[in-house]
Chain A
Amino acid sequence: MSEHGLRLELTVNGRRRVAADVPANSSLLVALREHFGLPGAKNACEQGECGSCTVYLDDVPVCSCLVAAGQAHGCEVRTVEGLAMSSTSTSASAAAASGAASGMRNGGNAGETADLTALSVVQSAFLEAGAVQCGFCTPGFLIAVDALLIRVRGRTIINLDDAELREALAGNLCRCTGYEKVIDAVRTALARLATPQPPMGAAT
């Protein structure tokens, strides 16, 4: 271990990544944004109050500003940039996303850009519902909603009442939308995931 910083090895969005010299007092959020070229997770409050830094750490949604970077060493992190490959994708968009992801693996390292034709169901629902205004809260919301829907879909009877929905998203603040469109997006995404969608652009 360098006396100036940590050598951090983790799996980010399905790829093994290494960063040298991450200061030991850095958060995972800072490591993702400044050392791994993934600015999707946002730095707003630095104290876990806004949720704009929400990422998956070993499949659990957490505030990355409250995880010390070294605590993620050897772990699996998924950010909004990797959401299109998540299990809330429909099979069609997941197939497209894995194609786009291979392109990312072969091509860029820092600043992987998302292929906008390969979005998860949650991402598409947010765009269609008008749930994105300035977009600052959006990456955090997408992870939180993705996690919520995975949990709900795991039930024998798929049911999400308003109170549970709001409680599940209580860790994500939005200053623009007033939340109603966000709730619409969640309901749309849930309905789509509950109903098998026809594959997009399937060969006929």
Chain B
Amino acid sequence: MELITADSWTQALRLKHERPGAAPINGGTDVMVELNFDLRRPEALLDLSRIAELKDWDVVGGTVQLGAGVTYSRIIAELADSLPALAMAARTVGSPQIRNRGTVGGNLGTASPAGDAHPVLLATGAVVEAESFGRGVRRIPVDDFFAGPKRSVLEPDELIRAVLIPTAAGPQQFSKVGTRNAMVIAVCSFAIALDLDARTVGTGIGSAGPTPLTARAAGRFLAGALDWDTLTVPEAAARHFGELVSEAASPIDDVRGTSAYRRHALQVLSMRALRWIRTAGREPEPVAA
């Protein structure tokens, strides 16, 4: 196996075009596990970790252009105001050591249904910016990005350049269930993002289907039932919201939990998210760890 180092984005695209079988690696928190356990033997690793362009983020209009190489630690430290739910999700990833290396670009590249960033990207209507040497830039709405468990719609010669995420237009929440409060792959997770101007509700469900999912009917229902001035709903409506979120999931029984538990847990998480949205501002700030 070879290790090929890309010093610039242009060089990376050309290298991936010439060697479509090369596995991209940046933080390495997914790829190295596969290599260490001999689950995968790519012909080569394409090291993206030195590419300066991938480590930048910028705010253009109402959108954060998040370079694929920005680590979770930096998202927590630098983007908690513009992207609160993503900062919350980033804080639940692994450990400080993992967060110092892992990236949203890598999370998308792995495309696990349990990826912690995915429910937030769905809830906020994010767009993946992929690029290839031959065809240039391709913008893929996150809704269309996931094809199956650990499969995305990326072509073999494409790399992820950035994720375009609208800055928060209202309260957002993310939470995840696991066997402990750190270092866990989600048993299930839920993200919600309110747009106070458009009066719409975005949702995202993780680890409860073959891909991350959106609870569209639940979002539409809540947008209608919510008192947008006080951000309250009658208790029956909150319960119905929880049921709709639960119904939108497509979980299975697996090593981390049962289908029935996941449906129940999503109902609880989504109802709690509604409470937390009401009390937003009285919650502690994310701590950079």
Q: Which residues of A contact B (CB under 8 A)?
A: 6, 23-25, 27, 46-49, 51, 54, 60-63, 65-71, 73, 144, 147, 151, 163-164, 167-168, 170-172
Contact = CB atoms under 8 A, between A and B. Distances in A.
Contacts of A168: 96, 289
Contact of B36 (A46, A54, A60, A164): A46
Interface residues of B, number: 30
Contacts of B37: 46-47
Contact of B96 (A47, A49, A61, A163): A61
Contacts of A71: 3, 25, 28, 47, 49
A203 B119 CA distance: 63
A49 B37 CA distance: 14
B52 interface: no
Contact of B287 (A46, A60, A69, A164): A164
A66 B45 contact: no
Contacts of A65: 32, 36
A63 B182 CA distance: 15
Say whether chain A's binding surface is mostly helix, strand, loop, or mixed: mixed
A136 to B, nearest CB: 17
Contact of A170 (B5, B101, B182): B182
B96 A68 contact: no
B1 interface: yes
A120 to B, nearest CB: 19
Q: Which 4 A-B pairs give the minimum distances between C-beta atoms?
A: A171-B95, A170-B182, A70-B3, A46-B36
Given A61-B100, A66-B32, A167-B96, 7 more contacts: A24-B3, A25-B35, A46-B36, A48-B98, A68-B31, A73-B5, A167-B287
Contact of A67 (B2, B32, B182): B32
Nearest to B41: A25
Interface string B1-13: 1110100000000
B33 interface: yes
Contact of B32 (A23, A51, A68): A68
A91 B97 CA distance: 28
Given A24-B2, A164-B289, A170 B32 contact: no
B149 interface: no
Contacts of A46: 33, 36-37
Interface string B219-234: 0000000000000000
A100 to B, nearest CB: 27
